[in-house]
Amino acid sequence: MKKLNFVDIFCGAGGLSHSFKKRRHNLNLAIDIDETSTLTLKKNYPLLKNNIINGDIKNIINNKKILKLKNKIDLLMGGPPCQGFSTANRQNIINDPRNELYKFFIKFAELSKPRYILIENVVGIQSKANDIIKKLDDIGYFADFRILQALDFGVPQNRKRLFFFGIKKNTNQDYVENFFKFLEFYKSKSKKFLLKDALFGLRPLKPKKFKNDTKNEYFESGFNIERINKYRPNTYLKIINSNKNIKYTYNHLARYNNDRDKKIFSRLPQGCDSTHKSIEDIMPYKNRSKIFKDKYFKLNNDKVSKTITSHMKFDCNMYIHPTQSRGLTPREAARIQSFPDDYFFEGTKSQCYSQIGNAVPPLLSHYICLALEKIND
């Protein structure tokens, strides 16, 4: 297997690059504007901390370190923020300046001239797909895109994302189609999992008792770092943890919930939302139930999770634990996203939820990596 030298811009907490690193490819540079995300990346890859930059791509695109990468990297990848195109964004902020950040990704590609290009984004950016493919064509790349469903690759959540793949025009154009064909092959071979597989073995918790108590940790509501009681991991955990013996649980802390929310959490059956009759007497906004039908949602253990998103930084009412009267912890969300249990997230709980929700599931990136290795051999 030929090793790839790669750069990850808009890297976030490292979900896309994690599997490439795990398979011993070389991370030459990672860039993100969010400081906490880059601290998370440095925490998990301390030997690469000098290759991880916290900064705005618009301001550092002509940095000497970046210009030195010209013709020296094999793969440029990343997920430029495009909030206005997200179906989770109810305001659909079309004029959000972040919607244009994909152009800086393409500019970076023009400057660095990698052999391969990989762009991840929300499905809504499909309206810009022809423009993106044309811009990549203008700078010398054959490119195409596909919508990938994470659950097809063993990630236990319903998560559709659009991926562009491009290759330099001095290479066989068929490689683009072959890349997606290899992904189809791996999709057919991957094991499929449910929510209960992801939540398996984590210690039961109760919501934190005091709303503004952000500094103290309690046994009943969990710890940021806690030694694990031994248990036999299931198949899903063996896969995401690469069969490693994990000794500690990270970021498994429940957040505060008020008494009304805890009643709602306990009454709702699995798989039900705000419109369910069991909570109609205590449901806030009950006169506008159709508008707020997804204000509360209890996940179903025997199905895949709904999409893990950065909205969890505000509350987890749409991500109620299937058997415990509380929202998901950051570790539970990370499990559903297929992050390994020894991947530590820096920052507050809200910052952890944001990093996890914005990430590419590492298990999906694993199969993307395998497909790219196939055409790179």
pLDDT at 347 exceeding the cut of 80: yes
Vertex 87: Cα angle to 82 and 93 (nearest 5): 50
Give φ, ψ of 373 to 5 degrees. Answer: -60, -35
- For the stretch 215-229, pLDDT in tens is 889 999 999 999 987
Average pLDDT over residues 271-288: 84
Query: With 60 as the cut, is the pLDDT of residue 91 above it?
Result: no
Please write the tens of the pLDDT for every residue from 120-165.
999 999 999 999 999 999 999 999 999 999 999 999 999 999 999 9
Averaged confidence pLDDT in the chain:
91
Does residue 51 register a pLDDT over 60? yes
Say what the pLDDT of residue 272 is: 95
Domains and CATH numbers, the chain: 5-191+361-376 (3.40.50.150), 195-358 (3.90.120.10)
Q: Is pLDDT above 80 for 288?
A: no
Return d(Cα 116, Cα 325) in angstroms, integer: 46
Q: Look at residue 250 and tell me whether its pLDDT is greater than 90.
A: yes
Checking if the pLDDT of 64 tops 90, the result is: no
**Mean pLDDT over residues 17-44, rounded?**
96
The structure tokens listed for 320 are 């109620």
**Could you tell me the pLDDT band of residue 311, with boundaries at 50, 70 and 90?**
very high
The pLDDT of residue 59: 85
What percentage of the chain carries pLDDT values higher than 90? 80
Interval 88-112 mean pLDDT: 73
> Per-residue pLDDT for 93 more than 60?
no
More confident residue, 214 or 258: 258
Whether the pLDDT of residue 92 is over 60: the answer is no
